[in-house]
Structure 1
Amino acid sequence: MSIDIRMTGPLFDGRAERAMEQACDDALDDLGAYAEERVLMGTSAHFKTRTPYYETRITTDRVSDEEALVHDQGVIYGPWLEGVGSRNYPATRFKGYGHWRAAKQAVAVRGPQVADAAVRRRLPEMGG
């Protein structure tokens, strides 16, 4: 008597692993886009006179396979707008808008849901 066992499917032929890597990449991209969107929502809500320069400088870059960076490309008055510059409260009464802090908090709260949605989109490829 002999038994013939064949292991087939996404788990055994590498499709599940590739789909999981893609899901992680998708989650990182989605989280970066969500963070950028929240920063831009903060600027549009707070800026009385909107000029496109600062808002067009806000971008998301992939720093590594595991990290995305949302930044304002070093705009000189960016820290002042946020309220963390050396010329804020002691020098002027302007305390900043806090749009970056608000975006960070929003990502901390909603980030797991955004990442979960990215993984769920790839589940069929993983065989789930």
Structure 2
Amino acid sequence: MLLDVSTSSRGPIFDGRAQRVANAYVDRYERRLAEEGLNILRGEMHRVFKNPTGYYESRCEVIDGHKIWDNRVVYGPWLAGIGSRNFPVTKFRGYDHWTVTRDKLNERKRGIGERLLRQYTGRM
């Protein structure tokens, strides 16, 4: 008995299209998470700051497509409670705006990823 097996390697997995779509999804997902995180952070700043001037909030932005930072505002660590001038040097322990943002974003990231993935799976 002679058995002859042949295969064909065509399609998005073999020609690189699926990899490009997956990479585009990851890039967009990271950007979407960073933007959502920035929105959460701004809301938290409104919640916790007692006398906001708007300067610190205006300095917070998304960079490199996936990072949220405060442009190294000199009093940023003090506001977050991790500066050298926080407790025990002074009574001020800082605000929780960064940690609450992290926790809220972690709760939302799965839903954001699943909704976004629906736009990309058809192209794979």
What's the TM-score once normalised by structure 1's chain length? 0.80
2:26 to 24, 27, 42: 24
- Tell me: higher relative CO, structure 1 or 2? Use CA pairs within 8 A at least 6 residues apart: 1
CA separation of 1:4 and 1:84: change in aligned 2, threshold 3 A: closer
1:78 to 70, 76, 80: 76
Q: Residue in 2 aligned with 1:48?
A: 50
CA drift of 1:4 comes to 8.7
Within 2, Cα distance between the matches of 1:118 and 1:62? 20
Within 1, Cα distance between the matches of 2:15 and 2:100? 44
1:55-74 superposed matches below 5 A: 55-62=57-64, 68-74=66-72
- Aligned residue for 1:92, secondary structure, equals coil
CA contact (8 A) 1:20 1:119 kept: no
Which is greater in Rg?
Answer: 2
- Aligned residue for 1:108, secondary structure, equals helix
- Aligned residue for 2:122, secondary structure, equals helix
CA contact (8 A) 1:38 1:103 kept: yes
Are 2:70 and 1:92 equivalent residues in the alignment?
no
Within 2, Cα distance between the matches of 1:57 and 1:100? 14
User: What is the Cα-based RMSD across aligned positions, in Å?
Assistant: 2.2
Structure 1 residues not aligned, in runs of 5+: none
Are 2:12 and 1:10 equivalent residues in the alignment?
yes
What's the TM-score once normalised by structure 2's chain length? 0.82
CA drift of 1:3 comes to 9.3
CA drift of 1:110 comes to 2.0
